[in-house]
Structure 1
Amino acid sequence: MPDHDHHHGHAAHTHGLSHGHGNGHNHGIEGRGDWQVAAAVATNLILTAAQIVGGIIAGSVALIADAMHNLSDALALIIAFAARRIACRPAHPGMSFGYGRAEVIAALVNYTTLIVVCLWLGYAATERMVDPPPVEGGIVVILAAVALVINGITAALTFRLARDSMNIRAAFLHNLSDAGTSLAVIVSGLLVMWWDWRLADPLITLLISVWILRHCFVEVVPVIRILMLAAPAGLDPAKIDERIGEVEGVAGLHHLHLWQIDERRTSLEAHLVVADGQDEARVLARVKAMLAGEFGLGHTTFEVERAGDACAGGAC
């Protein structure tokens, strides 16, 4: 019995190593998109500098808000790209699950930074609503229009990579939201130019901050769930427990743990009680085949027990 259990634990561990090597194999494929990420970062940094200078000259906090958002996007791309490269490193005995969670950590850093920036901008906008300063609407409109074009280009550059990575996808979505932000800033500048409505600038800034914050809080939830070892949102542990119990030869199940290793891999471990007279290897093979076929779970580890074992009786 002990040798049998050890064998299955070793098999699951080896499976984890193979995933790590698979990520490393994709390194060359992902490397072909390096110039796209570099171009997106460069355009965002240039745009950020232009908008900050223009915002100071024009006295527009909305333009500076848009600049901070563009800066956060550039930093997000840099962090996400670095994490993506780290995640490609193969697994080894000291890091048996590989480096896939580097991307999850990067996503958490990006969203946390963006939340802090939005809170600061919201505070600055609220202060300006008390006594709105004059704003040079023409400068605001011109720079926001340039930002709209560049954000569209940046989103196009990262579109292909966004399908494979949580971080790049977040950066891509941020660039799309930047395009909406730039439109809002253009509206703000036009309102100042046409009707001298100074409240438009801080109000638009506040709306931008609230909108981005809402987006951040929605996107950060799955990131936190992975880091907290939560079960994937699309899998119900109770349903999995029920289906395992229905497999022929299974007498019971306990100590079930289901969690995400990273964005692409999910792991399950449990103590499986095999009915008397049943072949352990065959029952285990049935359970694993069912989990792979019905739930897409290929990384599973089981401690196999008999109904009379101490642990099956609730002593462990």
Structure 2
Amino acid sequence: MSQHHHHHHHVSGKNLLIAIILNLTITLSQVIGGIFSGSLALLSDALHNFSDVLTLLIAYVANRLSHKEHTESKTFGYRRAEIIAAFFNTSVLMAVAIFLIYESYQKLINPQSVDSLTVVWLGVLSIFLNALGVLLVKDDAHHNMNIKAAYLHLLTDMVTSVAVVAGGLLMYFYQIYWVDPLVSMIIALYLIVASWSLMKVSLSVLMQFTPEGIAIQDIINKIKETQNGIENVHHVHLWQLDDHSIHLEAHLNFQDNISLQECSAVLDSLEKVLKKDFGVTHTTFQCEHNRCQVMNAIV
């Protein structure tokens, strides 16, 4: 067995903490404003912002856990904590969205007057504070699925706050109060679209599915093409441990009864090729001779 060391991008927990404080400020102001103004769009945005506070808190804890060292009882450490957090957070977003669609439908049937100026000013505050949060975590979102989930929350909040302000202005100038639940429904649908792909990816990692864009048959072909002495490759498993680590295990059936030294040279060569061509960061190979004649068995 051999392993490649992969250099991870270091994610800043401090930026997440600042984003949590910003979102807590938005949430409290929008809850109070939503109750006093009678605006569902503002309360929807507040609920969305509160889900952000939870998201960012979970992301922060998961981020801290993922840096803990592995132990004998936890040989992989807590490296999956951030994937679990990403899945949980996107699931929460979906649940919030479904609730908002139901509430918006009720209000569309029976529109009520809204204190539109409160809606506009609190929407503007939310845009400004969310924009700060987005800037804080933007760089880390490119390297980390967990932070990307948190970043998506902040970004959707910023966009939905723009919709809240637009709705508030329409209500203020034209007294079109059905715009409020309509904006709320648009926010909810946007949440579902924004969350779906990340939810799918994080679930796929948790279920140890083959990473997207890599075909196991291509890996088998590459192994046999790189080393002519390998008769067949079987018991192949390929999975992602976290954002950065792709693991491969396989049994290699050799044509000749080669020495351990020759076998090690073959494994070194395969590691380099598989890392370069498929991004595999960790390989576990079992070398065999005349043990299994099944060709290319993925079992």
Q: Determine if the TM-score, normalized by the shorter chain, exceeds 0.5.
A: yes
Could you state the TM-score of these two structures normalised by the residue count of structure 2? 0.91
1:284, 1:36 → 2: CA distance?
42
Instruction: Determine if contact 1:274/1:283 at 8 Å carries over to the other structure.
Output: no
Aligned-pair identity in percent equals 34
Q: Which has the higher helix share?
A: 1
Could you state the TM-score of these two structures normalised by the residue count of structure 1? 0.86
Structure 2 residue aligned with 1:74, among 30, 43, 53? 53
Q: Which moved more, 1:280-289 or 1:55-64?
A: 280-289
Matches within 5 A, 1:223-302: 223-246=202-225, 247-276=227-256, 278=258, 279-302=262-285
Change (3 A) 1:281 1:37: closer
Q: Which residue pairs with 2:72 in the alignment? A: 93
Deviations 1:48-79 (A, max 9, x none): 01101111111110011111111111111110
Q: Which moved more, 1:259-268 or 1:277-286?
A: 277-286
Runs of 4+ displaced beyond 3 Å: 311-316
* Long gaps (5+) in structure 1: 1-7
1:304 equivalenced with 2:287 (yes/no): yes
Instruction: Determine if contact 2:17/2:60 at 8 Å carries over to the other structure.
Output: no
Change (3 A) 1:97 1:112: same
Change (3 A) 1:313 1:190: closer
Structure 1 residue aligned with 2:29, among 24, 30, 50? 50
2:222, 2:46 → 1: CA distance?
52
Aligned length: 293
1:211, 1:199 → 2: CA distance?
19
1:220 equivalenced with 2:199 (yes/no): yes
Instruction: Determine if contact 2:234/2:294 at 8 Å carries over to the other structure.
Output: no
2:193, 2:244 → 1: CA distance?
25
Instruction: Determine if contact 1:249/1:283 at 8 Å carries over to the other structure.
Output: no
How far is the alpha carbon of 1:36 from its aligned partner?
2.4
What is the RMSD of the two structures over their aligned residues, measured on CA atoms?
Answer: 2.1
